[in-house]
Chain A
């Protein structure tokens, strides 16, 4: 099997997936009970105004035409106009995306930094105390209702102990930094405002921890399982039998092989991360895509909900594709033959 033979079907699938997302979101927005034109024009609009809005939206045309227009707009990056903010959905998403990325990336890094070693040691000392702790932590992580955990953490660290802030990205006293990357940690430093940077860090601690905890469970469990698989392999026994030290065998032979299948897991964890971010942001009033979509849901702002769905789905699929390719490159069995 050559690499092209693996990549080409994936690219074909990608095309269908993007097309599928378009069909699904289009179908959903046409499934809404009620008249979208009336939602936009308001309850008191005259029949004439409604007719105009309908024509502007292309709602008077056949459904197939409407779909073609919808796809063409998507390809041009036009996700429609939010009913609530009255701004293009694409612009809204661009505004809120960096906050979500900052929170999501930090959480992922934290979850990997804790989860991978925990999984590895859990597998090495199977059934020992470390293993018991790791398994308890991972079951708790997997079973934790993120929205509730966030609330409890706020209650504890913000309300009772009063050591960390419980909402927002910066303390009231600081103005938001000029947008360069949209990441407050970077932008505040670029402006040389170290006190604002510290405030941003303090605001990130609780939400990052809450979001990381759920993913920590999944990661620990996966690493433990694949590490246990690898440790049973013949080549591990051979390596040990040939006199290599245990530490060398574990870190140079076992871990490297156990990590490869875990790469794909990162892609799947991303789905959980996305969903967890929606809940975490809501709880911590974090001004990101999650808060945006939940507010949109509560105000029945369908263009915004569908815009978020399209962007989130396509982003998710693309990242998974990149991860799968990385996996193929990392796996010598595929790389060497290709």
Chain B
């Protein structure tokens, strides 16, 4: 989705050197939307880490006397059909939903970057074969494939994560390969090779550290879309299964009650929307900052 120019790397090195305060000031002045994104993600991380402290109830505690209660002071988001507190379930749901999205990006990025760098360093037939395979996978509608794959593996959160991770690999392979190809010609890599460094050594100590920043931008941008996909797979019954507090699954069970108990499906969905928005705003902001050409617009 985002093509990052190797020339823009110079800017990537500059940003972290600025003081944190300067960075925040830069954000508020240049792009308040990025700041909003940063704020959302910060709150989200607090929510994920501090779920047991924030959630007022045990997310799985059944209270049949308090079934389908509308939002109130005691239950901010109301309760579900067996009286579980929805606010607590949404809080705990952030662990399943965001955890899944994070794992998906991590898996597809690790595998993709490894294959891409390897392809770039080894070159030759291996490289051509790898790129043709990736072309084929990229030419297909990724989400439809993920759905088919998840269905075949059997409905579970782990399997749906695996399915989405697999279809996301080619994007990272391409990006990492491009980075590797441009780095391969740099003097320090050539010098290393003269000293007899192996491919793996070069991959680990020269390629990976230098290719990392555009990859991280790509990953942040991906995260928003992947939160949506993971939730959607749960919604159609392929991901997390009902008793699990997961946002997509919560919206799915809330759907049967939408006409009379609007709060049931509404709040978990809102959490998905806000999270995806936070990732997209932050990802866009980081990309613009690293790309001086875009930043001056």
Size class of the B contact interface (CB-based, 8 Å): 35 or more
Whole-angstrom distance from the CB of B142 to the nearest CB of chain A? 7
A16–B237 Cα gap in the complex (Å)? Answer: 32
Q: Tell me the A1-53 residues at the B interface (CB within 8 Å).
A: 13, 16-17, 20-21, 24-25, 28-29, 31-33
Nearest-neighbour CB distance to chain A for B170, whole angstroms, equals 12
Chain B residue contacts of A17, Cβ below 8 A: 135-136, 139-140
Neighbour of B235 across the interface among A13, A126, A147, A312, CB < 8 A = A147
- Asked whether A309 lies within 8 Å of B235 as measured between CB atoms, the reply is no
In the complex, what's the smallest C-beta–C-beta distance from A280 to chain B, in angstroms? Answer: 11
In contact, B236 and A278 (Cβ under 8 angstroms): yes
| Least Cβ–Cβ distance between B260 and chain A, in angstroms | 9
Dominant secondary structure at the A interface: helix
Q: Is A242 an interface residue (CB 8 A)?
A: no
Contact B136 A316 (CB under 8 A): no
Q: A126-B297, A316-B141 are in contact. Are A145 and B154 (CB under 8 A)?
A: no
Q: Are A317 and B144 in contact (CB under 8 A)?
A: no
Q: Do most interface residues of chain B lie in helix, strand or loop, or is the interface mixed?
A: helix
B49 CB–A CB distance under 8 Å: no
Is B269 a contact partner of A298 (Cβ separation < 8 A)?
no
Inter-chain CA distance A17–B138, complex, in Å, is 9
* Chain A, 48-101, CB within 8 A of any chain B CB: none
Contact at B33–A144, with CB atoms within 8 Å? Answer: no
Contact for A282 among B137, B224, B231, B236, CB less than 8 A: B236
A320 within 8 A of B: yes
| Least CB separation from B262: chain A residue | A155
B151 touches A151 (CB 8 A): no
Q: Is A271 part of the binding interface, using a Cβ–Cβ cutoff of 8 Å?
A: yes
User: Which residue in B143, B144, B277 is a CB contact (below 8 Å) of A140?
Assistant: B277
- How far, in Å, is B20 (CB) from chain A's closest CB? 25
Q: Is the CB of A151 within 8 A of B224?
A: no
Is there contact, CB below 8 Å, between A151 and B140? Answer: no
Which residues of the partner chain B approach A147 to less than 8 Å between Cβ atoms? 232, 235-236, 248, 251, 269
Q: Contact flags (1/0) for A194-215 with B, using CB distance below 8 Å?
A: 0000000000000000000000
A306 at the interface (CB under 8 A from B): yes
Q: Mark A153-180, 1 if CB is under 8 A from B, else 0.
A: 0110001000000000000000000000
Shortest CB-to-CB span from A283 to chain B, Å, is: 8
Known: A13-B139, A152-B266. A31 touches B153 (CB 8 A): yes
Q: With an 8 A cutoff between CB atoms, is B74 at the interface?
A: no
Chain B residues contacting A139 (CB-CB under 8 Å) are 33, 277, 280-281, 284
Q: CB distance A32 to B152 under 8 Å?
A: yes
Residue among B148, B265, B297 making CB contact with A151, cutoff 8 Å = B265
| Cβ-defined contact, B152 with A28, below 8 A | yes
Interface presence of A216 (CB below 8 A)? no
A13: nearest chain-B partner, CB-CB = B135
Whether A21 contacts B236 in the complex (CB less than 8 A), given A143-B280, A155-B262, comes out as: no
> When the two chains form their complex, are residues A151 and B280 in contact, meaning their CB atoms are under 8 A apart?
no
Chain A nearest Cβ from B166, distance in angstroms: 10
A298–B152 Cα distance when bound, in Å, is: 11
Asked whether B17 is an interface residue with its Cβ less than 8 Å from the other chain, the reply is no
Cα–Cα, bound, A146→B269 (Å): 10
User: Is there an interface contact between A297 and B280, defined as CB atoms closer than 8 Å?
Assistant: no
B276 within 8 A of A: yes
Q: Distance (Å) between the CB of B122 and the closest chain A CB?
A: 21
CA distance A297 to B147 in the complex (A): 9
Q: A33 vs B156: C-alpha distance in the bound complex, in angstroms?
A: 14
Is B140 a contact partner of A143 (Cβ separation < 8 A)? Answer: no
Contact B232 A279 (CB under 8 A): yes
Chain A residues with Cβ below 8 Å from B139 are: 13, 17, 317, 320
Chain B residues within CB distance 8 Å of chain A: 33, 132, 135-137, 139-145, 147-149, 151-154, 224-225, 228, 231-232, 235-238, 248, 251, 254-255, 258-259, 262, 265-266, 268-270, 272-273, 276-277, 279-281, 284, 297
**Chain A interface residues toward B at CB < 8 A:** 13, 16-17, 20-21, 24-25, 28-29, 31-33, 126, 135, 139-140, 142-149, 151-152, 154-155, 159, 228, 270-272, 274-275, 278-279, 282-283, 293-294, 297-298, 300, 302, 305-306, 308-309, 312-313, 316-317, 320
What are 30 contact pairs spanning A and B, CB under 8 A? A16-B135, A17-B139, A17-B140, A28-B152, A126-B297, A139-B33, A139-B277, A139-B281, A143-B279, A144-B273, A144-B276, A145-B228, A147-B236, A151-B254, A151-B269, A159-B258, A159-B259, A270-B141, A271-B142, A274-B143, A274-B144, A278-B144, A278-B236, A279-B236, A297-B238, A298-B236, A309-B144, A313-B140, A316-B144, A317-B140
Top 3 A-B pairs ranked by shortest CB distance?
A148-B269, A143-B276, A143-B277
Identify 16 new A-B residue pairs, CB closer than 8 A, beyond the known A271-B142, A274-B144. A16-B135, A20-B140, A24-B145, A28-B149, A33-B154, A145-B232, A148-B268, A152-B266, A159-B258, A271-B143, A294-B237, A298-B237, A308-B144, A313-B140, A313-B144, A320-B139
